[in-house]
């Protein structure tokens, strides 16, 4: 049975908490963005305040075994500083019995990177000569995974999942471990907040509802676009994926990004939108460049008439003005994906402007604004607007799968 962090009695108990401490580190192993650590602190503090102790487990990066640069030891200082409680470290997540036994209430023990073991993800590592060999290796990892999970579960009295970013993965620490705590499992505040925010947009929003979907590819966003037709009144489509739509409509797109095999699908999607009464706002005028670089020559043209040799890179001011009008008339806004090549400063203007408009819609119209996905989140954060929108989602892939209507293993494991 699912429990709730606000009502659960943590006094004298050890809680094992799956967090997402997968933070970016520079070459000197310093954290360059601690957002994810900050996000998990309220959950950890709550357990400690209520008289419990926390055992923290996370992954960092994509190690293929024990790798110094992916060690969670690099982040301990920051965790201790933000938590304001003693933080200890177990350098092997499968051999922490003594440290767990010595852990006092009010303390925190961070376990070393779970992904140092292949059992966390349940996938074999290395090269295999044949499919049979790979299958056999997978069977071994899956078998060993049972012991791996059992060991982690043995450390604690209750389990909290607060890692929304990995909720779409059926890993040992995100899904399987919950079975060991049938009556003592719950979501942390990050998970609760994410689920509530997305559910609000999908199920109980104030209308008009507008979604902005950007990014590079039609193929990766088409499912979510169509799924959202059931929830939104307007859909703004920007970024690299628009050129596939424009080419399918008979436009000249020059060297712009295009997935020829998705063109028919793009046209079908526009038809579906019409049938469902959803208004689509594709970018119209765009900034094009003669090179994929910051110092390229640029000009503004219609994205139905991009000259040969030029490539669509960003939304032009007239397109942004059209979108702004739609957004300023919306009461609920969901944003995923950049509307231009955001990594190159010269073509980040459109994406930054969207961040600005969302902050304005929140402040001036009381719109509920939800931002998710790496680049969109980076844009609102860099612009200093993270506190000026209603909710910033920490999980890109997980958010997309949730919006697509999929049951996420990390959520299902707690609720079942
Ligand atoms: P996604 O991960 O699908 O949200 O896509 C994000 C990527 O889309 C970023 O790396 C952007 O640079 C890229 N992108 C956005 N607009 C364009 C464009 N007009 N041309 C090429 N790439 C784009």
Phi, psi of 176 (to 5 degrees): -65, -40
224 and 160 in a single domain? The answer is: no
For the chain, what percent of residues have pLDDT higher than 90?
Answer: 91
Write down which residue in 141, 159, 187 finishes a domain: 187
* CATH number assigned to the domain comprising residue 27: 3.40.50.1260
Is residue 51 located within the same domain as residue 93?
A: yes
**Same domain as 330, residue 208:** yes
Q: Which active-site residues does the annotation give?
A: 36, 217, 374, 397
Asked which of 187, 204, 228 is the last residue of a domain, the reply is 187
- Average pLDDT value for residue range 349-354: 96
| CA 64 – ligand 1 centroid, Å | 28
The confidence band for 81, taking pLDDT boundaries of 50, 70 and 90, is very high
Which residues of 206-337 form beta strands (DSSP E)?
Answer: 209-213, 234-237, 252-253, 279-282, 285-289, 298-302, 305-306, 311-315, 332-336
Domain check: are 174 and 245 in the same one? Answer: no
Residue 394: pLDDT band with limits 50, 70, 90:
confident
Are residues 44 and 59 part of one domain?
A: yes
Range of the domain at 132: 14-187
pLDDT of 374 reads 75
Ligand 1 atom nearest 220 alpha carbon: 3
Residue that terminates a domain, selected from 187, 221, 238: 187
- Asked if residue 416 is part of any domain, the answer here is no
Pair (81, 208) in one structural domain: no
Tell whether 391 is covered by a domain.
yes
pTM: 0.86
Q: Are strands 2-4 and 53-57 parallel, antiparallel or unpaired?
A: unpaired
* pLDDT at position 180 over 80: yes
Residue 219 sits in the same domain as residue 183: no
Q: Count the domains in the chain.
A: 2
Atom 3 of ligand 1, nearest CA residue? 215
Residue carrying the six token digits 């939304």: 315
Q: How far is CA 273 from CA 53, 236, 319, in A?
A: 51, 12, 20
Mutation probe of ligand 1 site: the residue of 237, 239, 311 with most atoms within 8 A of C-beta: 239
Cα 259 to averaged position of ligand 1 atoms, centre (Å): 13
Residues 32, 138: one domain?
yes
For residue 396, the CA-to-ligand 1 centroid distance in Å is 14
């Amino acid at each position: 049975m699912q429990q709730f962090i606000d009502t659960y009695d943590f006094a004298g108990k050890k809680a094992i908490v799956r967090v997402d401490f997968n933070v970016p580190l520079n070459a000197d192993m310093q954290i360059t963005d601690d957002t994810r650590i900050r996000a998990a602190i309220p959950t950890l503090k709550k357990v400690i305040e209520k008289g419990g102790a926390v055992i923290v487990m996370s992954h960092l990066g994509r190690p293929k075994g024990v790798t110094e640069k992916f060690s969670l030891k690099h982040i301990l200082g920051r965790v201790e500083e933000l938590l304001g409680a003693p933080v200890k470290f177990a350098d092997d997540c499968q051999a922490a019995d003594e440290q767990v036994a010595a852990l006092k209430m009010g303390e925190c023990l961070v376990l070393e990177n779970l992904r140092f073991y292949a059992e966390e993800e349940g996938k074999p590592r290395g090269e295999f000569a044949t499919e049979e060999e790979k299958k056999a290796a997978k069977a071994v990892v899956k078998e060993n995974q049972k012991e791996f999970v059992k060991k982690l579960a043995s450390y604690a009295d209750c389990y909290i999942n607060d890692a929304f970013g990995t909720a779409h993965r059926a890993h040992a620490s995100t899904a399987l471990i919950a079975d060991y705590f049938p009556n003592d499992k719950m979501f942390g505040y990050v998970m609760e907040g994410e689920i509530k925010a997305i559910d609000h947009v999908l199920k109980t929003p104030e209308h008009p509802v507008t979604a902005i979907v950007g990014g590079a590819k039609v193929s990766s966003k088409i499912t979510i676009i169509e799924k959202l037709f059931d929830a939104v009144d307007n859909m703004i489509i920007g970024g690299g994926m628009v050129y596939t739509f424009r080419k399918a409509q008979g436009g000249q797109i020059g060297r712009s990004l295009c997935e020829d095999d998705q063109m028919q699908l793009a046209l079908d999607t526009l038809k579906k939108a019409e049938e469902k009464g959803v208004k689509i706002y594709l970018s119209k005028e765009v900034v094009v460049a003669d090179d994929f670089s910051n110092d390229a020559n640029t000009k503004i043209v219609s994205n139905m008439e991009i000259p040969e040799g030029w490539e669509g890179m960003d939304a032009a001011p007239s397109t942004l003005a059209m979108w702004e009008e739609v957004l300023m008339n919306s009461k609920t806004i969901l944003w995923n994906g950049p509307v231009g090549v955001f990594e190159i400063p010269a073509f980040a203007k459109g994406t930054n402007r969207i961040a600005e408009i969302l902050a304005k819609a929140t402040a001036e119209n009381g719109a509920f604004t939800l931002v998710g996905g790496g680049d969109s989140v980076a844009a609102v954060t860099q612009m200093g607007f993270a506190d000026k929108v209603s909710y910033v989602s920490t999980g890109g892939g997980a958010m997309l799968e949730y919006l697509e209507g999929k049951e996420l293993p990390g959520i299902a494991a707690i609720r079942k």
